[in-house]
């Protein structure tokens, strides 16, 4: 009987993978539901004896089985999109059944946990530190330093919290990992628990990921005896963007309003329920099993450039021909990612801008596309790597409108705790509207009769732009968290590189 492998990843299902699987089953084939390879433009992608076909519809089934389909792409592992990657975190992507303990063990699963538990906690942390692993959630803080802080904190209870509140535009790596290789995340959390002395873990995930929630719950149940006495619980959030910020996330798990906490104290000292807590995101914890294998730490440290070590699962999205997940060592350029790997825009028009790092990341101009994918290089360019999302825009995009969206997004998602974010974002929308309209009218709030200390007459364009810069500076340095603090990045970059879109 022909064995047909089809992904049950949420994206593949949205593209019709369920109907394709049903059609193959009706034709007498044996179906294996596997994780996604991450070549999203080819979904639903079908694999038979290593040969790929995509994108497939139920109407293509008979031709594929008869051996004369025009959807054939050849051996999947030799496809340039896959062959060009260096996959560690996503080494099992497309190759294993997500909830098969046999598949996981057969591909090296649990060996890192067994090795870690035979080591002293401090030695485990030393290997994580030596690997150079930095948090993949955006801040890029060294994971080993955070773990060491929690280990050193004296407390009767400690926790490991996985931040799975993936909310950046154009990102999907966390979802793919949780749906396609959930045991790897569980193993990483269990290793973290051993290293810092925690016996309880939480995975905080947004309700918009129902497939990932179901997979995680099933996987945790299947792996319970493997990770015992460590226990993991899934907590589902309502989807507020600000709950991706670690202290808001902790408040939400505690049943409180998702609101940012002032630091200090750091969560590593006083986190969940007031206890020392490791908060890492999905990709950070999922990298741990590879690092804790024999020689894994030194291999990780040997990859990448400067202080950006290891590999990064980069997510290509937006107006791009070949969107999907591309894991590679740090140092690759946007030129390679967008044109060499992504094939340019899906529309066929010239690329105008790329936003890296989510909705609060800077818009990068094509003149910056030789920038290496590296935390420090992006920081020097006033940009962010964030969670590794790369969103492409063609030349029809209006950057003035996108700058306005940054303020609008911040206003909608602000938790409201600090004034620069809560008020500044709304004033920013009004200010950009005045600049783009070209009409020199007074600020509506400043012109109110009860306002006695504000300017009540119109500003020139130059004065409005100066006010915009003042507002960005106030938000960047005065906000409690990255939501307000990073909103100026897309605004300033859009204004710097495309001033004509603000006319």
Q: What is the pLDDT of residue 447?
A: 80
pLDDT value, residue 154: 94
pLDDT, residue 137, reads 79
- The mean pLDDT value for 464-476 works out to 96
Q: What is the mean pLDDT of residues 232-238?
A: 96
Strands (E), 16-153: 30-34, 46-48, 51-53, 72-75
Q: Token pair for residue 500?
A: 């004509």
Contacts for 8 with CB less than 8 Å, ≥ 6 apart? 17, 33, 34, 98, 179, 211
Encode pLDDT of 256-298 as tens digits: 999 999 999 999 999 999 999 999 999 999 999 999 999 999 9
Query: How much of the chain, in percent, has pLDDT values that exceed 90?
Result: 93
The pLDDT of residue 168 is above 80: yes
What pLDDT is stored for residue 229 in this prediction? 97
- pLDDT interval class at 503 (50, 70, 90): confident
Q: What is the pLDDT of residue 457?
A: 81
Mean pLDDT score, 461-466? 93
Write out pLDDT tens, residues 387-433.
Answer: 999 999 999 999 999 999 999 999 999 999 999 999 999 999 999 99
Q: What is the largest CA-CA distance in the chain?
A: 83
Decide if pLDDT at 140 tops 90: no
What percent of the chain is modeled with pLDDT above 70? 100
Q: Which CATH architecture has domain 304-394?
A: Roll (3.10)
Mean per-residue pLDDT, 429-440: 91
Whether the pLDDT of residue 51 is over 90: the answer is yes
pLDDT surpassing 80 at residue 383:
yes
For the chain, the domains span 3-84, 101-302, 304-394, 399-502
89-132 confidence digits (pLDDT tens): 999 999 999 999 999 999 999 999 999 999 999 999 999 999 99
Taking alpha carbons only, the member of 200, 117, 110, 205 closest to residue 160 is 200
pLDDT band at 441; cut points 50, 70, 90: confident
In this prediction the pTM is 0.95
Task: Name the nearest CA neighbour of 399 among 444, 439, 432, 448.
Answer: 432
| Edge-to-edge order in the sheet of strand 72-75 | 30-34, 3-7, 46-48, 51-53, 72-75
Q: What average pLDDT does the segment 75-99 reach?
A: 97
Q: What's the pLDDT at 453?
A: 81
Q: Comparing 3-84 with 304-394, is the CATH topology the same?
A: no
**CA gap 67, 65 in Å, rounded:** 5
Find the mean pLDDT for residues 316-336.
97
Q: Mean of the per-residue pLDDT values for the chain?
A: 95
Say which range, 78-92, 133-147, 464-478, has the weakest mean pLDDT: 133-147
Distance CA 318, CA 344 (A): 11
Q: To 5 degrees, how large is the angle CA 177–CA 182–CA 185?
A: 85
Is a pLDDT exceeding 80 seen at residue 139?
no
399-502: CATH, from 3.40.640.10, 1.20.1440.230, 1.20.1740.10, 1.10.10.10 = 1.20.1440.230
Is 2.30.110.10 the CATH classification of the domain at 3-84?
no
Per-residue pLDDT tens digits for 351-378: 999 999 999 999 999 999 999 999 999 9
pLDDT at 328 over 80: yes
b (16+ CB within 10 A) / e for 55-91: bbebebbeebbeeebebebeebeebebbeebebbbbb
Q: Which residues in 125-237 belong to E strands, given as ranges?
A: 159-164, 200-206, 231-237
| Per-residue pLDDT at 165 exceeds 90 | yes
Q: Which CATH number fits domain 101-302: 3.30.70.580, 3.20.20.120, 3.40.50.720, 3.40.50.11540?
A: 3.40.50.11540
């Amino acid at each position: 009987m022909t064995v047909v492998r089809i992904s049950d990843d949420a994206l593949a299902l949205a593209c019709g993978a369920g109907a394709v699987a049903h059609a193959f089953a009706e034709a007498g084939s044996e179906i294996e539901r596997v994780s996604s390879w991450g070549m999203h433009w080819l979904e639903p992608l079908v694999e038979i004896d290593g040969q790929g076909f995509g994108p497939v519809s139920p109407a293509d089934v008979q031709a594929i089985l008869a051996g004369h389909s025009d959807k054939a792409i050849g051996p999947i592992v030799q496809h340039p999109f896959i062959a060009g990657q260096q996959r560690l975190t996503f080494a099992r992507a497309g190759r294993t059944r997500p909830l098969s303990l046999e598949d996981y063990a057969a591909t090296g699963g649990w060996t890192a946990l067994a090795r870690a538990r035979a080591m002293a906690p401090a030695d485990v942390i030393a290997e994580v530190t030596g690997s150079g692993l930095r948090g993949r959630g955006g801040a890029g803080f060294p994971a080993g330093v955070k773990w060491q802080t929690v280990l050193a904190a004296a407390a009767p209870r400690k926790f490991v919290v996985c931040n799975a509140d993936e909310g950046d535009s154009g990102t999907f790596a966390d979802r793919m990992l949780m749906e396609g290789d959930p045991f790897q995340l569980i193993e990483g959390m269990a290793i973290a628990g051993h290293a810092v002395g925690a016996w309880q873990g939480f995975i905080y995930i947004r309700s918009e990921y129902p497939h990932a929630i179901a997979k995680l719950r099933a996987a945790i149940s299947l792996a319970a005896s493997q990770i015992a006495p460590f226990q993991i619980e899934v907590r589902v959030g309502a989807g507020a963007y600000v709950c991706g910020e670690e202290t808001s996330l902790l408040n939400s798990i505690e049943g409180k309003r998702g609101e940012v906490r002032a630091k200090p104290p750091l969560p590593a000292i006083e986190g969940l329920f007031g206890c020392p807590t490791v908060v890492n995101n999905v990709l950070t914890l999922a990298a741990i099993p590879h690092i804790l294998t024999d020689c894994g730490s030194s291999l990780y440290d040997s990859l990448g450039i400067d202080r950006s070590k290891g590999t990064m699962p980069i997510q290509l999205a937006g107006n791009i021909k070949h969107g999907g997940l591309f894991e590679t060592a740090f140092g690759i350029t946007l030129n390679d990612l967008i044109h060499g790997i992504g094939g340019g825009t899906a529309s066929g028009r010239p690329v105008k801008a790329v936003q890296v790092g989510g909705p609060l990341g800077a818009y990068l101009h094509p003149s910056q596309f030789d920038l290496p994918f590296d935390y420090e290089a992006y920081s020097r360019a006033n940009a962010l790597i964030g969670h590794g999302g790369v969103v492409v825009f063609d030349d029809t995009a209006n950057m003035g409108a996108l700058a306005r969206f940054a303020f609008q997004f911040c206003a909608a998602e602000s938790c409201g705790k600090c004034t620069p974010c809560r008020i500044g974002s709304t004033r920013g929308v009004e200010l950009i509207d005045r600049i783009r309209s070209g009409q020199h009218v007074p600020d509506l709030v400043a012109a109110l009769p009860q306002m006695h200390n504000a300017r009540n007459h119109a500003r020139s364009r130059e004065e409005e732009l100066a006010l915009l810069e003042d507002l960005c500076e106030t938000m960047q340095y005065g906000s409690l968290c990255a939501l307000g603090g990073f909103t100026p990045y897309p605004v300033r970059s859009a204004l710097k590189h495309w001033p004509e879109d603000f006319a």
